[in-house]
């Protein structure tokens, strides 16, 4: 499994999957360019650099039939990866609470909630440039379901710390590239088995948006995690891990050449 994190954070937010799933599956959990331990995202680089970095990683590690799991920005990168690198042998795809175009307009209402359009996009950029730490304090709670607060040292506080540690210029550049991306018309060409997971109480995207995404891909279905927000793998890890494992095993059943032989640690 290649686990790809969302915008503004890092692969560290897959800790609950690492703890639960590494004994059974081999997990690869990178930090995308501009995030976590990776270097800055070049100011003039295209969005495709993100998918290119994953393709290079798959090639370097000689991964065979990977299952790509993308959360938020990671889902957009995963779609871009499958569309641009069709010979990678990806066995399956899991997307977590994401749509192929994030801004709304008169003809598109499945983007970010709260009427996020080109005007809201401009305000967000101004806020990021003015004070990245303050912006991180505000956007991180929206990752979770409304009212989520697990106290000092909990997942909310940890996520804020991860966000604050990221390079602001990289986040601004990637945000701009992300909102420019539009893969709505291309999803129908993604032929691999796919699972579209979303949180029932997501503050960013609706369940209807998740269902729309699944309807576009020929071999996709939806899984809604009750009570969770934009990050069901963080908020309801046991439920999410069960759903992910069941889907992974269904993919394995269709690929007799795949065997479950985890490495000693199960984790890269």
pLDDT of residue 255: 76
pLDDT over threshold 70, residue 102: yes
CB-based contact 179:77 (threshold 8 Å): no
- Which 3 state secondary structure label does DSSP give 152? coil
Is residue 49 classed exposed, middle or buried when 0-12, 13-18 and 19+ CB atoms within 10 A define those classes?
middle
Buried residues in 56-72 as b, exposed as e (16+ CB within 10 A): eebeeeebeebbbbbbb
pLDDT digits (tens, 9 = 90+) for 238-260: 999 999 999 999 999 887 777 66
pLDDT over threshold 70, residue 49: yes
pLDDT of residue 118: 60
Mean pLDDT of the region 192-210: 97
pLDDT digits (tens, 9 = 90+) for 126-150: 999 999 999 999 999 999 999 999 9
pLDDT of residue 117: 61
Residue 268: pLDDT band (50, 70, 90) is low
As a whole-number percent, the residues of the chain with pLDDT over 90 amount to 87
Residue 123: pLDDT band (50, 70, 90) is confident
pLDDT over threshold 70, residue 156: yes
Residue 121: pLDDT band (50, 70, 90) is confident
Mean pLDDT of the region 38-61: 97
Closest CA to 254 of 186, 190, 194, 187: 194
Domain ranges of the chain: 2-253
Mean pLDDT of the region 109-135: 84
Phi-psi region of 65 (alpha: psi -120 to 50; beta: other; left: phi over 0): left
Sequence-distant (6+) residues with CB within 8 A of 65 are: 89, 90, 91, 255, 257, 258
Residue 122: pLDDT band (50, 70, 90) is confident
pLDDT of residue 113: 84
Phi, psi of 73 (to 5 degrees): -50, -40
pLDDT digits (tens, 9 = 90+) for 220-232: 999 999 999 999 9
As a whole-number percent, the residues of the chain with pLDDT over 70 amount to 94
Who wins on pLDDT, 258 or 151?
151
CATH fold for domain 2-253: Rossmann fold (3.40.50)
pLDDT over threshold 70, residue 263: no
Residue 66 bridge partners (DSSP)? none
Average pLDDT, the chain: 93
pLDDT over threshold 60, residue 1: yes
């Amino acid at each position: 499994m290649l686990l790809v994190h969302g915008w503004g954070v890092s692969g560290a937010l897959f800790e609950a999957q690492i703890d639960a799933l590494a004994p059974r599956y081999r997990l690869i959990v990178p930090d995308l360019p501009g995030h976590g331990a990776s270097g800055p995202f070049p100011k003039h680089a295209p969005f495709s650099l993100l998918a290119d970095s994953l393709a290079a990683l798959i090639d370097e590690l000689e991964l065979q039939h990977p299952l790509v799991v993308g959360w938020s920005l990671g889902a957009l990168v995963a779609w871009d990866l499958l569309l641009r690198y069709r010979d990678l042998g990806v066995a399956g795809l899991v997307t977590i609470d994401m749509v192929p175009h994030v801004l709304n307009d008169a003809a598109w209402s499945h983007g970010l909630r709260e009427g996020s359009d080109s005007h809201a996009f401009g305000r967000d950029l101004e806020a990021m440039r003015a004070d990245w730490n303050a912006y991180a304090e505000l956007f991180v709670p929206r990752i979770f379901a409304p009212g989520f607060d697990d106290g000092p040292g909990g997942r909310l506080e940890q996520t804020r710390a991860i966000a604050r540690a990221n390079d602001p210029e990289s986040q601004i550049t990637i945000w701009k590239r992300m909102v420019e991306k539009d893969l709505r018309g291309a999803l129908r060409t993604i032929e691999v088995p796919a699972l579209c997971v979303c949180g029932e109480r997501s503050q960013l995207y609706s369940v209807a948006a998740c269902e729309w995404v699944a309807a576009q891909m020929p071999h996709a279905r939806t899984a809604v995690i009750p009570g969770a927000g934009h990050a069901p793998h963080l908020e309801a890890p046991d439920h999410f891990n069960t759903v992910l494992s069941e889907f992974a095993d269904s993919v394995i059943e269709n690929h007799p050449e795949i065997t479950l032989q985890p490495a000693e640690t199960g984790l890269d």
